[in-house]
Amino acid sequence: MLPLFVLLCWTLPAGAQQPAANALSASEAADGWILLFDGRTLSGLLPTGDADWKVEDGTITATMGTGFLATPRPYENFEFKTEVWIDQTANSGVFFRCGEGNPGARTCYEANIFDTHAEWPTGSINNLKTSKPNTPDTIGKWNTFEILADGNHLTIKVNGQTTVDVQDERLASGTIALQEGGGGGMGLVRFRNVKVRPR
């Protein structure tokens, strides 16, 4: 068997480095991405509800309660990406184009993060299009989660795979909000590398 350092040399291109957590790369900054979480504080995100949001090990973490962390400004057309970790009981999601007041199913699109939901499992846009039969398995590991909102065209990707590609005219602009405790499904949820790029 080859020594570990030799295997690593074969795996990583010369000069390659792991991207820094909760930071923009030079190319992301040049392309107009905005970092929504710096890995140290929740400054710049507005909490609602009683979820126990905190910063833990460079992640936005919640374990109980119900509520949201929302951007202070609205976004119309955008790309959004984050990494998310959930346990078996967590009901989470990313709400987007949220109107005034607290985020909710009537005032936002909800990109669900809840593998065991009977109708709208992870990767679905609730009440619009399900990710079935291509629902990803996301419990107990880090996953990439992406949203593209371009006019009436909405796309969700989980771990690089498209789970929803749909058109809808209902909501045109609004804030983006991370969720804990949807439908009483409280559990451990973590977010990191939370970024948005207006289009």
* Mean local confidence (pLDDT), 137-161: 98
CA dihedral 84, 90, 95, 101 (to 10 degrees): -130
Q: Is the pLDDT of residue 78 over 80?
A: yes
- For the chain, the domain total comes to 1
Q: How much of the chain, in percent, has pLDDT values that exceed 90?
A: 84
Question: Any idea what DSSP says for residue 99?
Answer: -
Q: What is the dihedral of CA 104, 114, 25, 14, to 10 degrees?
A: -170
On whether residue 13 sits in a domain, the answer given is: no
Instruction: Please tell me the predicted confidence (pLDDT) of residue 53.
Output: 98
Residue 14 lies in a domain: no
Question: If you average pLDDT over residues 181-197, what whole number do you get?
Answer: 93
Whether 32 is in a domain gets the answer yes
The band of 22, judged by pLDDT with boundaries at 50, 70 and 90, is very high
Q: Which residues pair with 109 in a beta bridge?
A: 96
Average pLDDT over residues 99-113: 92
Say how far apart CA 12 and CA 88 lie, in whole Å. Answer: 33
Neighbouring-strand partners of residue 92? 113, 180
Q: Which residue has the tokens 């007041």?
A: 101
89 found inside a domain: yes
The CATH number assigned to the domain holding 192 equals 2.60.120.560
User: Does residue 15 lie in a domain region?
Assistant: no
Residue 1 lies in a domain: no
Give the long-range contacts of residues 115-123, CB within 8 A, separation 24 or more.
115/86, 115/139, 116/88, 117/91, 122/158, 122/163, 123/156, 123/158, 123/163, 123/164
| pLDDT of 142 strictly over 80 | yes
**What is the band of 11 on the pLDDT scale with cuts at 50, 70, 90?**
very low
Q: Mean pLDDT across the stretch 9-13? A: 37
**pLDDT of residue 150 exceeding 90:** yes
Domain range holding 188? 24-198
Q: How confident is the model at residue 184 (pLDDT cuts 50, 70, 90)?
A: confident
Q: Is the pLDDT of residue 7 over 90?
A: no
Tell me if the pTM is above 0.85: yes
The pLDDT score that the predictor gives to residue 19 is 57
SS3 state of residue 164? strand
Q: Is residue 170 part of a domain?
A: yes
In a domain, residue 108? The reply is: yes
